[in-house]
Structure 1
Amino acid sequence: MTKGLPMRRNTILLAIGVCAVFGAIGLFALHMSSTSVRASGLMPYQDARAIELGKTLYEEYCASCHSTNLEGEPNWRDRDDDGYLPAPPHDPSGHTWHHPDQQLFMITKYGTEKMVGDGYKSRMIGFKDSLSDTEILSALAYIKSTWPPGIIARHNKINGN
């Protein structure tokens, strides 16, 4: 066996796991589409007031895990000794922009464990008891407002815009 094989196998297993997790989240999001938040145009990332509120909320509720500069925790793709993935970046180097607004909203509101179910472990709690829907959207708007135009354009296409 070559030295590279276990690393490639771990990478493949991680990729399969991530796809399964976000596939399950996507199905749950479709199931929850009756929420008061519509699936298109969720994030008011061009609204200066929403972005300002979102930055304040991000700093208060998100930065302790995802960092002030949105770069996430080190080694965010590798599970820790307790089986948890570290907080991913929300900047362009992460995968946040790969997911539609509805999915990002649902993860933020309900938490990853609730969205995925089936015993999935995550430290990403839901903020439904701490933040209103508008506040969640504002925090997400702030995150999106920091992305470069090309990433925003790709994310808009994911949303069907």
Structure 2
Amino acid sequence: MTPRSVYLALGVVTVAVATIFLWTRSGGTDHTAENLINSSADVAAGEVLYAENCAACHGANLEGEENWRSPRDDGSLPAPPHDASGHTWHHADSMLFAYTKLGGAEVLAAQGVDFNSGMPGFGDQLSDGEIWDILAYIKSTWPERERATQAERTAQDIASQGDG
């Protein structure tokens, strides 16, 4: 399985389950994608928080690690870029929030996906608001096409939450 197909499979599975999983893990607090859209996330604060918490792995300019599509010896992938060249914009807000708060391993394991994610959870270091600020900063750097695509995926995710 190629790294690209792994990302696509992870994205499909994660978007379907992340919101329910996050809801149960967060004690029922509203951390859905709709909450982010309607929030007043602070992009400037997110930029500072990104530099302090994310840049060491994902790059000061959101460029990610070299060879981020090639698995390491342990099967994990290097940190991907969060700029338009990466895949962050392929995912709905709820998935991005869950991955940041809980970490990749926990989110994927809860979904029965066996993947050695190197993404740690930041729920113990960052408040939910700070995570939303970081995501708002990352999204603010994308070109219009990527922002529009990601917004559509988030809207689809919100709509699917109402289908349950």
Which TM-score tier does this pair reach, normalised by the shorter chain? 0.7 to 0.9
Distance 1:149 1:119, change over 3 A: closer
Range with greater deviation from structure 2 (112-121 or 77-86): 112-121
* Residue in 2 that maps onto 1:14: 3
Please report the RMSD computed on the Cα atoms of aligned residues, expressed in angstroms: 2.1
Distance 1:133 1:89 in 2: 22
- Rg larger in 1 or in 2? 1
Alignment of 1:15-30 (within 5 A): 15-30=4-19
How many residue pairs get aligned? The number is: 148
Matched, 1:140 2:129: no
Residue ranges of structure 2 left out of the alignment (5+ in a row): 157-164
Contact 1:43 1:137 in 2 (8 A): no
Distance 1:74 1:80 in 2: 11
From 112, 117, 121, the equivalent of 1:122 is 117
Give deviations 1:122-145, integer Å, cap 9, x for gaps.
221000100000000000000001
Contact 1:44 1:137 in 2 (8 A): no
Residue ranges of structure 1 left out of the alignment (5+ in a row): 1-11
Alignment of 1:6-155 (within 5 A): 13-32=2-21, 34=23, 35-36=28-29, 37-40=31-34, 42=36, 50-117=42-109, 118-155=113-150
Distance 1:153 1:119, change over 3 A: closer
Distance 1:43 1:90, change over 3 A: farther
Range with greater deviation from structure 2 (15-24 or 57-66): 15-24
Normalization by structure 1: what TM-score?
A: 0.82
Normalization by structure 2: what TM-score?
A: 0.81
